[in-house]
Amino acid sequence: MPLGSPVLSRDAADMGLLGRIVDRLTRPKIGDRGARLEAEGRLEEAYEAYISTGQLDHAVRVLLARAESEPDPRRRLALLQVAASRAPEGSQSSRDARRRAASLRLDLARSARATALTSELLDLARQLEQLEMMQEAAEAYGLAGDTDNQSRVLVASGSIEALEDLLEFQREDRARRREREVAWKEIRDLDAIGKRLACLERCQQWLASFPDDEAIATFARGVESR
């Protein structure tokens, strides 16, 4: 068959087309790079690959996976907060990241109860409430000392038993405060009239029941040192 005949040209064209199809099918796709890196456990690189191709949901999922494996709670919180900020607004991945971050913030607040700022606790409580995590929101309001909002959230969530426990705690707390006011007045009155031993005895009685009352303990040490 003569060189350059129509048949040969057509065959060559067909082979060229077939080659291009095979090349497209076998060449790694840019979008597949993130999945490959993720499968290899290279999560940081997978995250960057997903971000570079605009696959935000996949990028957020990788961040959440990284957060789950992060042992340090504060670094884990940072990863969750980045995931929440990266996720498309209103998406399920955004909600998941925000809920996990809020839950972790509550865990940290529990462990740092003595040093947690009231404003931070209230901000957390409001965020938990917005995320419809009502039990957690009630707890955060309680940690902040906002019993009014704590009661409101418990009522809204139908947590009747928890509400009853809260009301009972409030009654006991008010009774203890009144009892302390009476004891504190007795202690100061005894000290004022010079009954030092009786004053110390009353301090010891109170501290036997409430050893963490540093104010009365300090007062007793002052009386004893005179």
pLDDT in tens, 86-130: 888 888 888 989 999 999 999 999 888 667 788 999 999 999 999
Who contacts 91 (Cβ-Cβ below 8 Å, separation ≥6)?
A: 57
153 vs 16: CA distance, rounded Å: 69
- pLDDT at position 16, please? 58
In percent, how much of the chain has pLDDT > 90? 37
Whole-number average pLDDT of the chain: 82
Q: How far is CA 13 from CA 2, 19, 25, 26, 169, in A?
A: 17, 10, 19, 20, 86
DSSP conformation class of 28: P
173 vs 145: CA distance, rounded Å: 12
Mean pLDDT calculated for residue range 198-220: 93
Please check the confidence at residue 22 and state whether its pLDDT lies above 50: no
- Report yes or no on whether pTM surpasses 0.75: no
Mean pLDDT calculated for residue range 155-173: 77
Give the pLDDT confidence of 173-191 residue by residue, as tens digits. 778 889 999 999 999 999 9
The string of DSSP letters for 110-176 reads: HHTTTT--HHHHHHHHHHHHHTT-HHHHHHHHHHTT-HHHHHHHHHHTT-HHHHHHHHHHHHHHHHH
pLDDT band at 37 (very low <50, low <70, confident <90, very high): confident
Encoding tokens for residue 218?
């300090």
- pLDDT at position 201, please? 94
* Residue predicted with more confidence, 112 or 80: 80
The three-state DSSP-derived secondary structure of 50-89 is HHHCCCHHHHHHHHHHHHHHCCCHHHHHHHHHHHHHHCCC
